[in-house]
Amino acid sequence: MVRLLGGGDPHWLSPLHLSDKCRALGALARHAFAHGPQCEPEPAVLLIAAAARRHGVAESLALAVARTESALDAHAISRTGAMGLMQLMPGTAAWLEVGDAFDPVQNTEGGARYLAQLLRRYRGDRSRALAAYNLGPARVPARGQLRLPSETRAYVQRVLTPLSAASW
């Protein structure tokens, strides 16, 4: 019952984040109508790497975020309504001026730009920047003790684990 009412982990049928879910589904429908099913974007890895370079983010970090967020599915929609490869929330996509969050080029550009902004905000602290990417920057302090929900701690660990062996 709690889950149905929006408590705990948001379920697709939960009213929690309902407006974001509706906006994401509407955006996906507009994208599919405009581009049709034959739309084949450039390989996601190349798009993410290029966007990361343009915004001064390590390619491996941006790619790890996209793999963790969407498994490189350009049409992914999360339970909370996040969209595309880099899983941008509708409000964040609008703020980043991403007109079509399901367009891989726009999504990766917006996601890399957002990640770069978070890394600057948190003075290169990858854990805080990633926590803010997942949880929202208003909920992650720039300094002091970092108290995160278990879901966000697990997210940060999932992103950083493949990077531990990579040099960046």
The reply to whether 151 belongs to the active site is no
Distance CA 129, CA 134 (A): 9
User: CB neighbours of 29 closer than 8 A, spacing ≥ 6?
Assistant: none
Longest Cα–Cα distance in the chain: 49
Give residues with Cβ within 8 angstroms of 100, minimum separation 6. Answer: 27, 30, 31, 34, 106, 107
Contacts of 143 (CB under 8 A, 6+ apart): none
Contact between 160 and 153 under an 8 Å Cβ cutoff? The reply is: no
Which listed residue (40, 69, 109, 151) is catalytic?
69
Residue written as token pair 């705990």: 8
The catalytic residue positions are 69
